[in-house]
Amino acid sequence: MPIYDYMCLECGHEFQRVERISEHEQADPRCPKCESAKVERVLTGAFVKTGKKS
Ligand SMILES: [Zn+2]
């Protein structure tokens, strides 16, 4: 089962969830720290989000 990394956009807390593929499509991940639903999936490994690329 894949592990997904998330980052909370509210408090910056990073956390992981283990989800099945079918689960992930309807997942409603929330920050375990502040319970915000404003979380962003962090893609680890091959792709790193830098924001700017020259
Ligand atoms: Zn949070």
pLDDT band with cut points at 50, 70 and 90 for residue 1: confident
What's the confidence (pLDDT) of residue 22? 80
21-45-34 Cα angle (round to 5): 65
- Please indicate, yes or no, if residue 24 is contained in any of the structural domains: yes
Any domain includes 18: yes
Residue 3, in any domain of the structure: yes
- Residues within 5 A (CB) of ion ligand 1: 8, 10-11, 13, 31, 33-34, 36
Residue 37 lies in a domain: no
Flag whether pLDDT at 46 surpasses 60. no
Task: Please say whether the beta carbons of 6 and 35 come within 8 A.
Answer: no
Domain that holds residue 6: 1-29
CA distance 45 to 3: 12
Say how many Å lie between the CA of residue 41 and the centre of ligand 1.
Answer: 13
In a domain, 15, yes or no: yes
Q: What is the mean pLDDT of residues 26-40?
A: 92
Q: What is the pLDDT at residue 37?
A: 95
The answer to whether 1 and 20 have CB atoms below 8 angstroms apart is yes
Please tell me the distance from the alpha carbon of residue 52 to that of residue 54, in angstroms, as a whole number: 7
The answer on pLDDT for 45 being more than 60 is no
pLDDT tens for each residue of 10-27: 999 999 988 887 876 777
Ligand 1 centroid – CA 54 distance (Å): 31
